[in-house]
Amino acid sequence: MTDLSHFDCNGASNPNNNIFGLPFSEDDARLVILPIPWEVTVSYNAGTARAADHIFKASMQVDLFDADGKEAWKQGFYMRSPDKKILLKSDYLRKEAELYIDYTSKGELVEKNMFMCKSLKEINEGSAYLNNWVYEQTRSLLQKGKLVALLGGDHSTPLGYFKAIAEKHEEFGILQIDAHCDLRKSYEHFTYSHASIMYNALKDIPNLSRLVQVGVRDFCEEEWQYVRNSNNRVITYYDKSIKERLFEGEHWKQVADEIVAHLPKHVYVSFDIDGLDPKLCPNTGTPVPGGFETEQIYYLLKRVVQSGRQIIGFDLNEVGVGDNDWDANVGARVLWKLCNLLVASNN
């Protein structure tokens, strides 16, 4: 066990310690954060593959006291270093994807260009490799009794974790905070696109009984039809509908409790940072006007825990990299809240 008798939780963070300046090793930590430096299929702004390093640096400015967390951090949070081989693979395939996206965006046919056919095959195979790598890493940690958090990277990254956590729970739901549905069958012919993460999860994981999406405000007709035809396996709270209810006098507590009521006992939180107002995440991959304040989402997550439901894991994705580290600053604080709530929910 880590000796905290000489650790000053009110002092300046020691950058020689782990994330948030905490002095835990992976063996001693109850919660392990697995960074996924991957952004192969992003369709607009890049940079999130390197978000974990920026968030680590920004985390040193986060105060450890959390009134909602009940000193959960004392049970230990630890973040692994980003895997360099995964980052190199992402960088290589990202360049391939950029050329491919540029080619197809001009209306050119992929099957008429052997180089583009080869690129598409390599990208899809690389994404499948990443999914299996995430599955193996998270399954191993879960088997050791760890709580696990994923830190992206783009929003395609948690599919392997979904599969690992599905082996531990006969039934679970996902609470998705996001500006997008991510329900496209594929996007730009990428099977494991960041725009297809929830489509793939629902297709491949039968014990994912319910997906509740909150804050969606950018979606295509295919996704809208998917939600309508899902027989309530997918329940989407569109940003426009939420805002209109609040404008017309409803309280956020009413809406939040209604959202929570749709979730099963075990809840996985998938947090795409673009679910927030883009003033909080201006360099995220695909920013969209609208969205939430952090306090609204913190309140929603607190209501999940207070309802007696159990948060079983989470991912935080699409944190951008800007010139002044504002995105990382917000990302670090969101990560801190999620870590505390995950541990508190499992006490």
pTM as predicted: 0.96
Mean pLDDT, to the nearest integer, of 92-110? Answer: 86
Could you report the per-residue pLDDT of 163-208, keeping only the tens digit for each? 999 999 999 999 999 999 999 998 778 899 999 999 999 999 999 9
Query: Any idea of the CA torsion for 182, 184, 188, 192, to the nearest 10 degrees?
Result: 70
In-domain check, residue 21: no
State the DSSP code for 251.
Answer: -
Could you report the per-residue pLDDT of 5-34, keeping only the tens digit for each? 899 999 999 989 999 999 999 999 999 999
In-domain check, residue 22: no
Residue 169 φ/ψ, nearest 5 degrees: -130, 130
In-domain check, residue 268: yes
Could you report the per-residue pLDDT of 133-158, keeping only the tens digit for each? 999 999 999 999 999 999 999 999 99
| Omega within 30 of 0 (cis) for the link into 313 | no
What percent of the chain has a predicted confidence (pLDDT) above 90?
84
Mean pLDDT, to the nearest integer, of 319-324? Answer: 91
In-domain check, residue 7: no
Could you report the per-residue pLDDT of 271-303, keeping only the tens digit for each? 999 999 999 999 998 999 999 999 999 999 999
What percent of the chain has a predicted confidence (pLDDT) above 70?
100
CB 278 within 8 A of CB 287: yes
- The whole-angstrom separation of Cα 276 and Cα 257 is 19
pLDDT band, very low/low/confident/very high, at 323 (cuts 50, 70, 90): confident
CB 162 within 8 A of CB 131: no
Give the residue among 59, 148, 81 at the shortest CA–CA distance from 343.
148
In-domain check, residue 25: no
Q: Which CATH number do you get for residue 68?
A: 3.40.800.10
Could you report the per-residue pLDDT of 60-75, keeping only the tens digit for each? 999 999 888 778 999 9
The DSSP bridge pattern shows strands 310-317 and 147-152 to be parallel
In the predicted structure, residue 314 carries a pLDDT above the cut 80: yes
The residues, any chain, with a CB within 8 Å of residue 254's CB and separated by 6 or more, are: none
In the chain, the amino acid numbered 81 is S
The reported pLDDT for the residue numbered 221 is 95
CB 45 within 8 A of CB 1: no
- Worst-scoring range by mean pLDDT, 46-50, 142-146, 253-257, 304-308? 46-50
Domain count, the chain: 1
The reported pLDDT for the residue numbered 107 is 80
Could you report the per-residue pLDDT of 330-340, keeping only the tens digit for each? 999 999 999 99
In-domain check, residue 250: yes
The reported pLDDT for the residue numbered 115 is 83
Residue 238's SS3 state is strand
- The whole-angstrom separation of Cα 47 and Cα 94 is 11
In-domain check, residue 282: yes
CB 213 within 8 A of CB 236: yes
In-domain check, residue 283: yes
Query: Structural domain of residue 62, as residue ranges?
Result: 36-345
pLDDT band, very low/low/confident/very high, at 226 (cuts 50, 70, 90): very high
Element (H, E) at 241: helix 239-247
